[in-house]
A and B are shown apart, each in its own frame.
Chain A
Amino acid sequence: MAESILRRWNQELTIAGAIVLLLLPLIGIQPKTYLTLTIAGIAMGMLLFLVASGVSIIFGLMDVLNFAHGALFAWGAYVGFTVFKYLMKWVVADSVLQNLAVFFIAIVAAMVAVALLGVVLERVIVRRVYGNHLFQILITFGATIVLVELIRVFWGPNDETMTVPLTFAGNWDIMDVIVYRYRVICIVIGAMVYAVLQLILKKTKLGTIVRAGVEDRDMVQAMGHNIYLLFTGVFAVGAGLAALGGLAMSIFSLQVYPDMGGTYLLFAFIVVIIGGLGSVTGSLVGALIVGLTYNYVAYLVPWAAAGVNILIMIIILLIRPTGLFAAGK
């Protein structure tokens, strides 16, 4: 009883904190700029969510901290880049339909390819080190080196420019508030992924088993569920989401480069520490916090932008070491 009251209290505290945090920047920012920044922050948050949710579920279910997630992210971006390159006609066509088609093909290609890569990674490498955190980190770090180097071998070591599908570029001007179209698309993608994930986790039997596994792997096994198959599946889904994040982010930042995964892996770590490892909702909230503060601070005090998220992470670690939405265990 007391526990549930405490939990509710915590939830209210979180919401209150979030609102204050959200409105605080208004002190230093014009309302219109503020709205633009907020949309940018939410868009960035949604993209971070795509990366972080994979890290979070993989850790929650498998107890594996996947340092190779950033490399999978970069692979997603590069696969999408290749699709764009071959279907450049459709990318630059002034047709919503063709733009959507190429975008969709790129997403499917990136997610499928990287999910397969994830399966290989899990089966060949990660599986050997279950239960040993130190070796997991080492081995997935080694996998990162190999995957990033392979990008350099296949696509060359230099930055490449990513093209925004023509009708996604530009912005709407809604009562003097500038709203970039692609950011809205990012928000829609993130929200959709969150909804689908929640639906699967909450409403399907498979999702229920995954949530049960996050709490107690051994029990799920002892009930007759093939946990290893589940691990591979979840790893593949996590990899696929990272790929989607990578592709979306590369369009956002207009470029792909071999090392691009490193920065976002770091963001993902910050997000899951803030949100709580193992919780999808935690990842979303954490990602939005990181995305928003990053954008506000980058506008107000540009040099402090990178540090402020680490500061938030440290504060969260001090007051609530398991993150805002601690899952299971």
Chain B
Amino acid sequence: MGEQGVDETILEVQGVHTFIGQHHILQGISFDAKADAVTVLIGRNGAGKSTALKTVIGLLPSSKGKIIYKGKEIQKNRPFEIARMGIGFVPENMGIFSELTVEENMRVAMLVENEATARRLDRTLEMFADLKKFWKAKAGNLSGGQKQMLAIARAIVNDTSLLLIDEPSKGLAPIIVDAVIDAINRIKEHSVVVLVEQNFYMASSVGDYFFILDDGMVAHAGHVEALIQDEALQSKYLGISEAEE
């Protein structure tokens, strides 16, 4: 859908290195996210996809390289500062506060509670009807799919211009995956999305650009359409996830 637009880059990751303890995980990774598009990071398990997202949001400190968001270097900022610049984050484990109710989860997520937020909340709840149904229920009791919806809802209830989503299809039934695809397709109308995804079906349904990560570096990049054509590339890097499907 929306890959026409201006070719403006909202996020640019340039040669970033990240260590976890003594392990050198990201070894000079570079990728970007264009405005009005969904960028997908793919790669086998342990390639460093989650680490890349956590580095962007600031939960893991980078040791080298630059992260530029809307023309500003953010690699030295703390997570909450980065989040306040309009970056939403849905981690791999979803980060649901399971002892809190759905309502409380949403409230914690809302940075400012004004009319605009209320409108976004309405829009979000209309998108994820289940959340409305279980509004007062403990989030820990939600199903896996509902938790994923809640995690995404929390991220888009603020005025975000960039959304980082880590493997939203993980452990979900195909029908639910379709629902998540729908949701992301709607979200991309008002926010740039960087999506980590192993599920090629999902990646190809929502993605515009892709970056294939391998061993903490970018191995390939391009248009998702090109990737759909290129069976050799698919089987080299995505063989496993296709076999699973």
Q: Do chains A and B touch in the complex (CB under 8 A)?
A: yes
CB 8 Å contact bits of A190-212 with B (1 = contact, 0 = none):
00000000000000010011011
Report yes or no: B57 in contact with A222, Cβ–Cβ below 8 A: yes
Enumerate A1-20 residues with CB–CB distance to B below 8 Å: 4
Return the chain A residue nearest B86 by Cβ.
Answer: A224
Residue A319 at the chain B interface, CB threshold 8 Å: no
Report yes or no: A328 in contact with B99, Cβ–Cβ below 8 A: yes
Report yes or no: B59 in contact with A222, Cβ–Cβ below 8 A: yes
Report yes or no: A212 in contact with B83, Cβ–Cβ below 8 A: no
Report yes or no: B109 in contact with A223, Cβ–Cβ below 8 A: yes
Report yes or no: B80 in contact with A224, Cβ–Cβ below 8 A: yes
Return the chain A residue nearest B85 by Cβ.
Answer: A224
CA distance A33 to B211 in the complex (A): 76
Report yes or no: B80 in contact with A212, Cβ–Cβ below 8 A: no
- Pull 16 A–B residue pairs with CB atoms less than 8 Å apart, ordered by A: A211-B97, A211-B104, A212-B97, A212-B105, A215-B97, A219-B91, A221-B79, A222-B57, A222-B58, A222-B59, A222-B79, A223-B80, A223-B109, A223-B111, A224-B158, A227-B80
CA distance A287 to B99 in the complex (A): 23
- In whole Å, how far is A217's beta carbon from the nearest beta carbon of chain B? 10
CA distance A209 to B111 in the complex (A): 11
A218 with B59: in contact, given A208-B100, A226-B80 (CB under 8 Å)?
Answer: yes
Report yes or no: A216 in contact with B80, Cβ–Cβ below 8 A: no
- In whole Å, how far is B145's beta carbon from the nearest beta carbon of chain A? 17
Q: Collect the chain B residues with CB atoms within 8 Å of residue A4's CB.
A: 141
A216 with B97: in contact, given A221-B80, A222-B57 (CB under 8 Å)?
Answer: yes
Of B83, B100, B104, which contacts A223 at CB under 8 A? Answer: B83
Q: Collect the chain A residues with CB atoms within 8 Å of residue B89's CB.
A: 222-223
Residue A327 at the chain B interface, CB threshold 8 Å: yes
Q: Collect the chain B residues with CB atoms within 8 Å of residue A219's CB.
A: 91, 95, 97
Which 5 A-B pairs give the minimum distances between C-beta atoms? A224-B83, A219-B95, A221-B79, A212-B97, A222-B89
Residue B49 at the chain A interface, CB threshold 8 Å: no
Interface size in chain A (residues, C-beta < 8 A): 22
CA distance A214 to B97 in the complex (A): 9
Q: Collect the chain B residues with CB atoms within 8 Å of residue A209's CB.
A: 108
Report yes or no: B100 in contact with A205, Cβ–Cβ below 8 A: no
Residue B123 at the chain A interface, CB threshold 8 Å: no
- In whole Å, how far is A220's beta carbon from the nearest beta carbon of chain B? 7
Q: Collect the chain B residues with CB atoms within 8 Å of residue A211's CB.
A: 97, 99-100, 104
Given A224-B111, A224-B158, 14 more contacts at CB 8 Å?
A: A208-B104, A208-B108, A212-B97, A218-B79, A218-B91, A221-B78, A222-B58, A222-B79, A222-B83, A222-B89, A223-B108, A224-B83, A224-B84, A327-B99
Return the chain A residue nearest B98 by Cβ.
Answer: A215
Residue B119 at the chain A interface, CB threshold 8 Å: no
Enumerate B136-186 residues with CB–CB distance to A below 8 Å: 141, 154, 158
Of B95, B100, B104, B141, which contacts A218 at CB under 8 A? Answer: B95
Q: Collect the chain A residues with CB atoms within 8 Å of residue B107's CB.
A: 205, 208
Residue A128 at the chain B interface, CB threshold 8 Å: no
